[in-house]
Structure 1
Amino acid sequence: MTADLPGFTFLTAGKVRDLYAPEGHDDLLLLVADDRVSAFDQVLSRPIPGRAALLTRLTRWWFDRLPEVPNHLADADDVVVPAEVADRSMLVERLSMHPVECVVRAYVTGSGYAEYRRTGSISGVPLPEGLQDGDRLPEPIFTPAYKAEQGEHDENIPFEKVVDLVGAETAEALRATSLAVFARATALAEAKGVLLADTKLEFGDDEQGRLVLADEVLTPDSSRYWDAAAYAEGRRGVSFDKQIIRDWLAAHWDGHGTPPDLPDEIVQRTADRYRELVDLLPA
């Protein structure tokens, strides 16, 4: 599913994006998103039309609204991104990535709710008793996960494990920066009638040792976005993200082996919800 891009060397394919190296620039990468989609740590056989361009547009919009947080976007006058991938790619700085998924949650739902029901906590963060699926937490919490290899499940870990992985100073910076990004994004989203239930952020260090926000940011693939009006009416989980796919898979797949093909209706509904969110937030 990768493309042959003149002036770029293909490096590797991830779940839903590919990496290329621009010739003559060892310090840069071209991050190319694809319409393929993943759920439950599995890449699905059916792509979501237009997904890559929509999520890339939204990531760039969020970077523009987080000027206080360094990000990995780069410019090079002699690097020409091919037109065939221009709307779904980002020229970025090479970073030393941290092996931690920086998850922030304002509501208890999804895998976090499942863990809460088992343990009364998420990633070692104790929570009040009696919470129901979709309840808002007293305040957003940092619930990191260890990055798994492709095809494996990310592992929720306590903050102390993050300290072991990256050191105390970097761990504190990851937590503080993630919570600050989440607070800023929450305010902007709620002003548009959208609730940011949770998100997953990734960071790396640049050559100067500066903490840099990387990869896709606050997209409906890395976040849960809910309709605020529906939530106020008691209709929880009316989402603008790929929850449609998760729900269908949960009802039609036991989690073992190869996931089934998504039906046309689910593909179209997911594409429509992505487009609705991207039209709503940057408006």
Structure 2
Amino acid sequence: MLNLLNKTKCILIPNLRKTASRATHDVVKESSSEVAVSSTATTPLILPQNWPQYEPMNRAVSRQVWIENIDDVPERKVGIIELHPDVFATQPRVDVIQENIEWQRKYRYVSFAHTKTRAEVRGGGRKPWPQKGMGRARHGSIRSPLFRGGGVAHGPRSPTTHFYMLPFYKRVMGLTATLSVKLAQDDLHVIDTVDVPTQDPQFIKELIKERNWGPSVLIVDRDDIFPENISYATDALSYVNLMPSYGLNTYSMLKHDTLVLTVNAVKHIEERLLYQLHRTDAIKKQGKFKLDQV
């Protein structure tokens, strides 16, 4: 009887150990898979983007940027977005950027400097002395530009416009070069949305201070109508400005230290600039500027 019990014990105990270890392994495996699923669900990676029409010429210079949250002051990474290298990884053409800045500062400038000619200055109607007989130089009016208090020859006449148009593709290159410089200097950030939880300007101040943005910040979204909270929160801050993506320009990007783009703004900017860089009628854009040119 004792021998039978010993044999049964030797057979059953190893089998129980194997079953328990297998069950424990399955539980650990299921829990680890659940953790992996939950972790991937909380951090949706937007990587890579699909550019079926405008493939990058060189994938080796691709750029990837973290997508940050804006619903709370502490920074939290919510994903990754891949940026098109033809827009965000071009050559930093400082000369083209300078030409764009000079053009933007001049094309809307109108000078109101004005001087009077000899015909507009009061007085000087009679001849100051006879033409001959006095040994003096001949003059017909004391309001001649040769006299003190007379009119001005070749002086500025108002209004004088300084309008001119920069070549089309220099304007496009200015945008791509400035975006690339901002990204290379770590002054370009991507956020998921522009929805902030409060209208208090103090929230924006703390967020900028926590993330080392600024001192001036330009926030760009695809829509030109921003949510109410962020509109009220930034209205009292002179160093924070909101702009739709279709109004993005070289001067505004360089005027602000930090450029903040939403995901929708990034996609819209890439879509528009890639279309201009790869359009089939590019030769028409190299001619003289016309008012109906689009």
Q: Is TM-score (shorter-chain normalized) higher than 0.5?
A: no
TM-score by length of 2: 0.21
Larger radius of gyration: 2
